[in-house]
Structure 1
Amino acid sequence: MTQFHLREWDRLPFGSGPGQIPEPLAERLVTVAKASPFAGSGEGGVLEHLRHHIRARGVVGVIAAPGVSLEILPKIDLPPGEAGETRETGDAAVRRRLIHMLAVALDLRLDLGAVTGLSWQKETLLDILIRIFADKLTEALRRGMPRRYTGLEDDLPALRGRLDVTRQFTAHAVNPARLACRFDALSEDIVLNRILKATVTHLARMTGSGALRGRLRELAFVYADIADVAPAALEWDKVVLDRTNRAWAELLAMARLFLQNRYQTTSLGRAEGTALLFEMDALFEDYIGRLIRRGVQSSGLKVTLQGGGLYCLDDAGRGLFRTKPDILIRSSGQVVQVIDTKWKRISARIEDAKQGVSQADVYQMMAYAQLYRAPRVTLLYPHHQGLATPEGVQARFTISGRPTVVETASIDVGQGAGMAARLAALVLPEAVLQG
């Protein structure tokens, strides 16, 4: 399989030379991308198919079609020591940062020690995630597959459990030697194991690595006695996690990552394609929100993610245009700050007084300030090397005629150390004073 790599918003020209992709291969990838939930109404939300090239948009991950795969990585500015001197070493560092963001957003505790430096450089994001999943599942199975008591029915020569009277006098009216029994038995064929078996089966089809495919087939053999259920028919809401199987929660979260929403298998006539994709706007929002909550947990502040729910308009008691701010910070029950995350690059103030912030975003923050009576609202962006100042507040304004502060701020996701504390520094000093 021919592999190509691209950063979001970059172009991959058509051709047969270095850094180019043959147009027939590009068309296969575009066909798979159009089937993604992120494709949008114009079907160009993942890949734009232009006259001389394809262009990645704000979605990252891996797209695979027969004979070709494309890995799209986010644009993250790395410290000089991590960026390395080659594209391969730079991509390896970005994969690390992206998997860290996924781990935080999904509440996963991923041990990346088993992933070697060479793996970060040579394997795609998809194969690295599959490797981590296979390692965690292998370790969990060594401790035993989870089991639960399930209700069963069977016709037995001796009574087990309780007698099903209705079935006994209908099915066995002429054969009283068989008893219609209802009983509970400890079984491994439960919803959780069916989900994990379905995940193993799908990943074996997705990976381009023969070694990983072999490991997944070994894991599938362990699940041989578990019922086969198609991903669309899995009963996720019936999974029961308690003290006996709490250790499986992370594997369940990874299964959701592979099988629900952001992963799909598409069959297109004779061609088949797979895609594991992440919308960076949503991932950045989840990542930042959870780290802020972690950073201020001992301060007395309350952090609400995707909360609020107030309406912009009232129509005779019926609310219209409901709002869902990304992050609400409360002190003593009062909103002291609203934060909205934006995965896009702002410009330095010396270049543009508005920093490239859209008018719609400003209007949105003014609405939040009004509805939630927030004295401070913040648009938070990823930091990049083009900004003249360090990460933190980049510009601060007041709403005309009011003391409400509207600010733009940035956080350097390429610098992974101390992210929670650095984000808390954007919130705590003023929040404590206002509280």
Structure 2
Amino acid sequence: MTRITVREYARITTEPVDTPTLDRAQVSPSAFDWLCQLNSTFGRGGASLVQVDGRRWLRLDNYVGVLETPCGTCLEILPKHVHDAEDAAPSRKLLRRMIQASLELSTREVCAAELELFEAPLSEWVMHRFLVALDELVQRGVRFDYERIEDEQPFLRGQLDVTAQMRQPPSRAHRFRLRHDRFSPNRPENRLLKCALERVCTATRSSDNWRLAQELRHRLSDVPASRDVKTDSNAWRTDRLMAHYQPVRPWCQLILDKTLPLAVAGHHHGMSLLFPMEQLFEQYVAHHLKRAAPPCTRVHTQATGAWLCRHRGRNLFQLRPDLLVEQGARRWVLDTKWKRLAHDATNYGLSQSDIYQLFAYGHRYLKGQGDVALIYPAHAMFDRALEAFEFSPTHRLWVLPFDLDNTALIGGEAVGLPFSGKGTRGMT
């Protein structure tokens, strides 16, 4: 398998590239054509995976993750948070941390030393985390449940099905139609885990992952794979008796790509995982601000309490800010944007439509009285909050950087945001 590592907005071509970088790479013609076909399916859904730049060049959009083409090319796409860096390791670690935050995993579930040493592609890392979590679950014990069995036996066992027995033909009257319960591991949670495990067994290219997957497959040989992932996912229990299943569930959902809204799977049977960077950044910021919020503060994601206008008695155009922070009678509206700003750029690189959007949020959620904020990733050219933009003397817009490495919102104290610890950092 050919492995190619690039980052967001990289250019890909079939022509020879003298010096491949994270922003320029060469792929085979078959991989190039497959990416074009995949982009057409994204386009029908209103998204864009790549942009055609001439006949032999493609420009990636803001999706990150891993794509495996049918011809055997593994394309790893990393975040572009550092402008000129050519080392993929920091970007890969950042992406892993953002995925963990989106899956709402505790930090102790993945040790730092393992992240330093395990430098496999993102898909192998996801499969490795699933296998480790599944191995821990199997060691603690797979949950069994009673399964109703209806069969025909030459002896009595359990309950005789009288109605079915009366319908037996004379030639089979000596056989008993029975109903009985069997204590079996055949339950929705285990079927989903087995289905994900089978997919890992066929997709992994790592010898360590393959060895552990085969061992777990043998230990779960009595469990059938799920035939209806959606139904079994809806039947996954979350009560106290199933608490030890929760650490493996996000990884299982990610591999089956059925219930995680951020994951977008390719049509090829290989391990393809794509994440829209806008949503990933939003989840990452929300996760860490929720952790830093004091008990008296509520942080709502994707709030739905306001509309832009009314028409013929109906509300139209719902306004959904990324974050709505409430503390007592005070409220703040925050919106995240995955975009590089700079202090020396025209209007700092801000989009006029984003300013209009925050203006509308402020008027509908705050009645035009209070502070709203746009949050962008911090970098060397944008490492401090901008001075407030005044819509009116009582209504201001703030533009704040979020430190991706230290998970800190810079300048939050000036806005009066009630976060503590690593959730916010003063203006510098």
Question: Which of these residues, 345, 348, 369, is aligned with residue 351 of structure 1?
Answer: 345
Question: Which of these residues, 378, 381, 403, is aligned with residue 386 of structure 1?
Answer: 381
The 5 Å alignment of 1:45-64 reads: 45-51=48-54, 52-64=56-68
* Runs of 5+ unmatched residues, structure 2: 420-428
Cα distance in 1 for residues equivalent to 2:148 and 2:294: 43
The 5 Å alignment of 1:10-409 reads: 10-16=10-16, 17-19=18-20, 20-31=25-36, 33-34=38-39, 39-41=42-44, 45-51=48-54, 52-65=56-69, 66-77=71-82, 87=86, 90-109=87-106, 110-113=109-112, 115=114, 117-120=116-119, 123-155=120-152, 157-160=155-158, 162=159, 164-171=161-168, 179-230=176-227, 235-261=232-258, 262-267=263-268, 274-298=271-295, 300-332=296-328, 334=329, 336-348=331-343, 350-352=344-346, 354-373=347-366, 375-387=370-382, 390-391=383-384, 393-400=385-392, 402-409=393-400
Cα distance in 2 for residues equivalent to 1:286 and 1:410: 16
Pair 432,24 (structure 1): closer, same or farther in 2 beyond 3 Å: closer
3-state SS, counterpart of residue 315 of structure 2: strand
Cα distance in 2 for residues equivalent to 1:72 and 1:216: 26
3-state SS, counterpart of residue 5 of structure 1: strand
Cα distance in 2 for residues equivalent to 1:231 and 1:72: 31
**Offset of residue 22 of structure 1:** 4.2
**Offset of residue 367 of structure 1:** 1.2
* Runs of 5+ unmatched residues, structure 1: none
Asked if 1:423 is matched to 2:409, the reply is yes
**Offset of residue 204 of structure 1:** 2.7
**Contact (CA 8 Å) 2:93, 2:115: kept in 1 or not?**
no
TM-score (norm 2): 0.84
**Offset of residue 53 of structure 1:** 2.7
3-state SS, counterpart of residue 104 of structure 1: helix
3-state SS, counterpart of residue 158 of structure 1: coil
**Offset of residue 278 of structure 1:** 0.8
| Aligned CA-pair RMSD | 3.0
**Offset of residue 410 of structure 1:** 0.9
How many residue pairs end up in the alignment? 403
**Contact (CA 8 Å) 2:371, 2:415: kept in 1 or not?**
no
Cα distance in 1 for residues equivalent to 2:63 and 2:414: 32
Give aligned-pair identity as a percent. 26
What is the match of residue 7 of structure 1? 7
1:323-355, Cα deviation, whole Å (9 max, x unpaired): 2111111122x451001111111221x432x32
What amino acid maps onto 1:142 in structure 2?
A: Q
Cα distance in 1 for residues equivalent to 2:281 and 2:228: 27
TM-score (norm 1): 0.82
What amino acid maps onto 2:75 in structure 1?
A: L
Q: Which moved more, 1:367-376 or 1:217-226?
A: 217-226
Q: Which has the higher contact order (CA 8 A, sep 6+)?
A: 1
**Contact (CA 8 Å) 1:172, 1:179: kept in 2 or not?**
no
Cα distance in 2 for residues equivalent to 1:204 and 1:263: 21
Pair 293,22 (structure 1): closer, same or farther in 2 beyond 3 Å: closer
**Offset of residue 206 of structure 1:** 2.7
3-state SS, counterpart of residue 416 of structure 2: helix
3-state SS, counterpart of residue 240 of structure 2: coil
Pair 92,230 (structure 1): closer, same or farther in 2 beyond 3 Å: farther
**Contact (CA 8 Å) 1:32, 1:266: kept in 2 or not?**
no
